Structure 1
Amino acid sequence: MSRLVVVSNRVADPRKAAAGGLAVALGDALNTAGGLWFGWSGTVIEGGAPGEGELHQQKAGTVTLATVDLCAEDHADYYLGYSNSVLWPVFHYRLDLARFDAGYFGAYRRVNRLFARQLLTLLRPDDIIWVHDYHLIPLADELRALGATQRIGFFLHVPLPPQQLLAAIPQHEWLMHALFAYDLVGFQSEADLENFSRYVRAEAGAEDLGDNYYKAFGRTVQAGAFPIGIDVDEFAALTHGKDAREMYERMKDEYSRRQLLLGVERLDYSKGLPQRLRAFKALLKKYPENLRSATLIQIASPSREAMDTYTDLLQELESLCGAINGDFGELDWMPVRYMHRNVARKRLPGLYRVARVALVTPLRDGMNLVAKEFIAAQDPADPGVLILSRFAGAAEQLKDALLVNPYDTDGMADTIQRALQMPLQERQARHQTLLKNIREQDVHWWRMTFLKALGAAARG
């Protein structure tokens, strides 16, 4: 059996369920074949040389965790710079926030070369390599240049924007050329796949060979949509765990006279948090029966706080929350409970379960697993309602959620009111269909489907 080699910006111990995300998604496959997980160590070395980094290895059960340190200059320019100040905003349709002229591109190439050099020393001839996300787009190209011949697949966890937005990146041709070094390129949604197809045909003159095979730059690549899921059974088990039950009982008791609305995400401009707060304010104005009744709990976990755009967003949110509470709050009722901190994953299911409505309203998102976690945590006999942005990748699968346009403040307010008043029978029917969807295309389906396609992809 071929060994699976996972490459991502950060590495996690797949034995720890609390790790979530990729650890849950890939843990079974890595553990079964005794795989390798490679990425950045999370350590920044002050005074280190650019393009150099020490390799560390440790065992996590049958899995080898291999990580590389970064010097301060590479971390600033590769990670905070090109990855998160150029690619992240453009891929989330925010050209206005991209810093194209900051000189980060050299570090992005340099670090990917560093990773390729270090990874190559660990590879076996029959390995299957699975590279993840926008930080590592050119990794296969760098590996091929060093002589690697293994099957290499790539999965983009964030959205891929349309041709016109991609073409705004000064290095867009180079980035797309690099993708053709992979055997299979995976996206979260059919919309992302269509954007890729249109770009490579229009900008790279790619030949469409059918079955999502494209030929350009002397190479052929297959592309596909592989929407990532969650481990439904694992998350449902967390719902019945001690921490989640304590959270549920405490919140149910404290808010027994309230209808809870919930938002949970990282602090990021892609998540539509100011728009959500304005919609909640509009709800209180348009439907005053919700005064002293509806409470929005908004959790915004800290993220990339060294970057100015995130500092500005934090200040905007604090101002909006203060204004809403000041205008509508009473001594015994605050309409918004805003928390800028992390909540332990083991406690989150209890919070999801007690919420009458979940607001998952990003301006743009590759998938959004909070929406799927909320569904998995619900009591089927009395489920809450999922309000989901039509611009989240999850909207392609979760059509029985209430889909909204997060830019439409009044429309969102009307949808929230509909959710709060939705009769039990409709809530049950919607939840049943949504739960069926996330079970059929769970995280194990995602992993097996991608790896099967990678194994079958034609070479060249």
Structure 2
Amino acid sequence: MSRLVVVSNRLADPRKTASGGLAVALGQALQASGGLWFGWSGKVVEDGTPGEGDVHLQTAGPVQLATVDLSREDHDSYYLGYSNGVLWPVFHYRLDLADFDAGFIGGYRRVNQMFAHKLAALLRPDDVIWVHDYHLIPLAAELRNMGCQQRMGFFLHIPLPPPLILAAVPEHEWLMRSLFAYDLVGFQSEADVAHFSRYVGTETSADILGEHEFRAFGKTLQVQAFPIGIDVDEFTALGRGQEAIDMYEQMRDEYSRRRLLLGVERMDYSKGLPQRIKAFRQLLQNYPENLGSATLIQIAAPSRESVDAYAALRQELESLCGSVNGDFGELDWMPVRYIHRSVARKRLPGLYRAASVALVTPLRDGMNLVAKEFIAAQDPEDPGVLVLSRFAGAAEQMRDALLVNPYDTTRTAETMQRALQMPLEERQRRHRALLQQIREQDVHWWRQRFLNALNAV
């Protein structure tokens, strides 16, 4: 049996289930074959530090974890500069926030070359290599240049933009050509696959051999959509834990006279947070029966606070929340409860279950697993309603949610009102369909489907 080698920017200990469904799914696959997980340690060291560039090995059961540190220069150019300053905003359609400093790409290439060099020394001839996300797009090309012939797959966790947006990336041709070093490339949605097909057809003159097969640069590449899921059983078990139960009972008692709308995400410009607050304001303006009863709890966990765009977003969000509370609040009712910190994962199921409506309204998202976690946490007898952006990858699967255009605040407010007023029978019907879907296409289905496709190439 071939050994699975997972490569990602950051690692998670597969023995710690609380770290999330992705770590659980990959950990199970790695343990089945005695696999290797390789990536950045998360540590930044000053140039010239003794041991800089060494591979740190540790074991987690039958899984070997291999990590390398990054120098300050490499971290700033590869991680902050090119990955999160160029690729992240462009892939989320925000050209206005991208920093097209040509100097960043050198660090991005250098770190991918370093990763390839360190990883190649640990590989076996029959390994199957699975590379994850935008930080490591050219990794397979670097490994091929070193003579590695192993089967290699790549999965992009964030969206792929249309060709004209992608073409704004400096040296986009080199970046996308690098994907042809893989045997299989997976995207979150069929829309992403369509964008890739259009890009290679117009920018590279690739031969389209079939619905999922392309040939260019003397290489043939398989491309498919593999929508990622959650571990429904694991998250349901979290909901039976004492911390989740305590959270639910606390929220139920504190808001016994209120209807809760809930948003949970990182503080990121892709999540549509200002648009959500504006839509909630319109809900209160247009449907005054919600005054004194509807409360929006918005959790926005800190993220990349040193970046100007994120600091500006936080300032805007705090201003909007304060404005709503100032204009509509009463002594005994605050319309928006804004929380700028994380909530422990073990408590999240209880928070989800207490909400009448979940607002998952990103401007663009690869998938968005909060939507699926919310459904898994609900009481089937009295479930809440999911309001979901049509621009989240999850919208392709979760058609029984209430889909919205988050840029249209008036229609989003109308949909919030519909969710708050939805009859029990309709809520139950929609929840049953959504729960069946996320169970059938969970994170284990995603993992096995990708690996089966990679082994079949």
Q: Which runs of 5+ in 2 are unaligned?
A: none
Alpha-carbon distance in 1 for matches of 2:318, 2:34: 47
Alpha-carbon distance in 2 for matches of 1:206, 1:53: 38
Q: Secondary structure at the match of 1:209?
A: strand
Written as runs of structure 1 = structure 2, the 5 A alignment for 1:180-329 is: 180-329=180-329
Alpha-carbon distance in 2 for matches of 1:329, 1:55: 56
- Asked if 2 retains the 8 angstrom alpha-carbon contact of 1:364 and 1:392, the reply is yes
Deviation at 1:304, TM superposition (A): 1.1
Written as runs of structure 1 = structure 2, the 5 A alignment for 1:8-407 is: 8-48=8-48, 53-407=53-407
Deviation at 1:54, TM superposition (A): 2.2
Q: Secondary structure at the match of 1:41?
A: strand
Alignment-mate amino acid for residue 271 of structure 2: K
Alpha-carbon distance in 2 for matches of 1:446, 1:12: 18
Deviation at 1:21, TM superposition (A): 4.4
Instruction: Note if 1:454 corresponds to 2:454.
Output: yes
Q: Secondary structure at the match of 1:337?
A: strand
- Asked if 2 retains the 8 angstrom alpha-carbon contact of 1:78 and 1:108, the reply is yes
TM-score of the pair, normalised by structure 1? 0.98
- Asked if 2 retains the 8 angstrom alpha-carbon contact of 1:361 and 1:387, the reply is yes
Alpha-carbon distance in 2 for matches of 1:236, 1:441: 16
Alignment-mate amino acid for residue 158 of structure 2: V
Alignment-mate amino acid for residue 272 of structure 1: G
Q: Secondary structure at the match of 2:178?
A: helix
Alignment-mate amino acid for residue 194 of structure 2: E
Alpha-carbon distance in 2 for matches of 1:222, 1:268: 32
Alpha-carbon distance in 1 for matches of 2:122, 2:211: 33
Q: Secondary structure at the match of 1:300?
A: strand
Deviation at 1:404, TM superposition (A): 0.1
Q: Secondary structure at the match of 1:433?
A: helix
Q: Which runs of 5+ in 1 are unaligned?
A: none
- Asked if 2 retains the 8 angstrom alpha-carbon contact of 1:162 and 1:199, the reply is yes
Q: What count of residue pairs does the alignment treat as equivalent?
A: 456
Per-residue CA distance 1:268-294 (angstroms, 9 max, x = gap): 000000000000011011011101100
Q: Which runs of 4+ in 1 moved over 3 A?
A: none
Q: Secondary structure at the match of 2:103?
A: coil
- Asked if 1 retains the 8 angstrom alpha-carbon contact of 2:258 and 2:293, the reply is yes
Q: Percent identity?
A: 75
The CA RMSD over aligned residues, in Å, is: 1.1
TM-score of the pair, normalised by structure 2? 0.99
Per-residue CA distance 1:109-138 (angstroms, 9 max, x = gap): 000001000001111111000000000000
Alpha-carbon distance in 1 for matches of 2:341, 2:48: 32
Deviation at 1:425, TM superposition (A): 0.2
Alpha-carbon distance in 2 for matches of 1:374, 1:53: 41
- Asked if 2 retains the 8 angstrom alpha-carbon contact of 1:48 and 1:72, the reply is no
Alpha-carbon distance in 2 for matches of 1:419, 1:48: 58
Deviation at 1:67, TM superposition (A): 0.5
- Range with bigger deviation, 99-108 or 361-370: 99-108
Q: Secondary structure at the match of 1:153?
A: strand
Alignment-mate amino acid for residue 197 of structure 1: S
Deviation at 1:101, TM superposition (A): 2.5
Alignment-mate amino acid for residue 166 of structure 1: L
Per-residue CA distance 1:128-152 (angstroms, 9 max, x = gap): 0000000000000000001110000
- Range with bigger deviation, 385-394 or 312-321: 312-321
Q: Secondary structure at the match of 1:186?
A: strand
- Asked if 1 retains the 8 angstrom alpha-carbon contact of 2:22 and 2:230, the reply is no
2:420 matched to which residue of 1? 420
Deviation at 1:102, TM superposition (A): 4.9
Q: Secondary structure at the match of 2:346?
A: coil
Per-residue CA distance 1:312-357 (angstroms, 9 max, x = gap): 1111111111111111111111101111111110000000000000
Deviation at 1:48, TM superposition (A): 4.0
Deviation at 1:211, TM superposition (A): 4.0
Per-residue CA distance 1:39-69 (angstroms, 9 max, x = gap): 00000002348xx622101001111110010
Alpha-carbon distance in 2 for matches of 1:73, 1:335: 45
